[in-house]
């Protein structure tokens, strides 16, 4: 399908490991959109907390963290290999995907000041309106006026298996049950926190990709873009 579409913001929200970022990356590559991974920014803040020793059994030392946010330069670099997350000049892409970071990130992401920091970074980084972003609250809070909102979901065990395959490919030694528990815990924290919980925006389109390939998802999206946003 030959597509010439308008400059729009595509907001993709949904549960952990539903393939939001893989889908968003594919959209960026195929349709020439800038990809912004909001979860990577929460993971970056979490990495800072862990490296500085500001986590005391799930209690975050916010007195130390809040002033550090003002100085924290989290950003993305885009090249032929894809998008990588940086803290200043240091590439942190590998470290932010570890189980250690995954286990704490929902706690850090529930802190309102951290959410304000990430929202502000996303607005600074989304300089034009040809952007695809994925997260939990992009369509509800960060860019409520996004032209297209997608809410992704998939069967829990399929999601856990996908996450497990990813971690094994990176050489992490993990148990299926540990991953499933982590997913369920994150779903719960993400959708029950006070500060912009994970929720489907009323105008979002649901995409359940339990049984869909990437190609089928892209075809589905292209159909929507063609119908609503072609020039």
**Residues interacting with ligand DC, by CB under 6 A?**
16, 38-39, 42-43, 105-106, 109, 135-138, 186, 190
Taking the least distance from each CB to ligand DC, the nearer of 138 and 179 is 138
Smallest separation, CB 214 to ligand DC (Å):
17
Tell me the C-alpha to C-alpha distance, in Å, between residue 115 and each of 102, 214, 226: 17, 30, 34
Taking the least distance from each CB to ligand DC, the nearer of 98 and 226 is 98
- Cα separation, 67 vs 91, in Å, equals 22
Smallest separation, CB 228 to ligand DC (Å):
24
Do residues 45 and 112 touch, judged by C-beta distance below 8 A?
Answer: no
Smallest separation, CB 226 to ligand DC (Å):
28
Taking the least distance from each CB to ligand DC, the nearer of 43 and 95 is 43
Taking the least distance from each CB to ligand DC, the nearer of 42 and 151 is 42
- Cα separation, 24 vs 205, in Å, equals 15
- Cα separation, 35 vs 130, in Å, equals 9
- Cα separation, 221 vs 36, in Å, equals 18
- Cα separation, 74 vs 64, in Å, equals 18
Smallest separation, CB 119 to ligand DC (Å):
9
Taking the least distance from each CB to ligand DC, the nearer of 129 and 162 is 162
Tokens of 198: 């994970």
Smallest separation, CB 231 to ligand DC (Å):
29
């Amino acid at each position: 399908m030959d597509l010439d579409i308008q400059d729009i913001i595509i907001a993709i929200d949904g549960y952990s490991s539903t393939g939001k970022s893989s889908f968003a990356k594919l959209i960026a590559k195929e349709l020439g959109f800038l990809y912004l991974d909001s979860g990577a920014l929460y993971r970056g803040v979490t990495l800072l907390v862990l490296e500085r020793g500001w986590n005391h059994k799930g209690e975050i030392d916010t007195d130390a963290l809040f002033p550090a946010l003002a100085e924290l330069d989290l950003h993305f670099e885009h090249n032929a290999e894809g998008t990588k997350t940086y803290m200043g000049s240091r590439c942190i892409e590998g470290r932010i995907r570890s189980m250690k970071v995954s286990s704490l990130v929902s706690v850090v992401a529930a802190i309102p000041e951290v959410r304000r920091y990430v929202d502000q970074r996303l607005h600074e980084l989304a300089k034009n309106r040809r952007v695809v972003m994925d997260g939990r609250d992009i369509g509800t809070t960060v860019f409520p006026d996004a032209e297209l909102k997608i809410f992704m979901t998939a069967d829990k065990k399929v999601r856990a298996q996908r996450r497990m395959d990813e971690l094994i490919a990176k050489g992490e030694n993990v148990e299926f049950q540990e991953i499933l528990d982590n997913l369920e815990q994150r779903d719960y924290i993400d959708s029950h926190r006070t500060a912009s919980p994970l929720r489907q925006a009323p105008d979002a389109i649901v995409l359940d990709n339990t049984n869909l390939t990437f190609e089928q998802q892209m075809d589905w999206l292209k159909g929507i873009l063609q119908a609503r946003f072609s020039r």
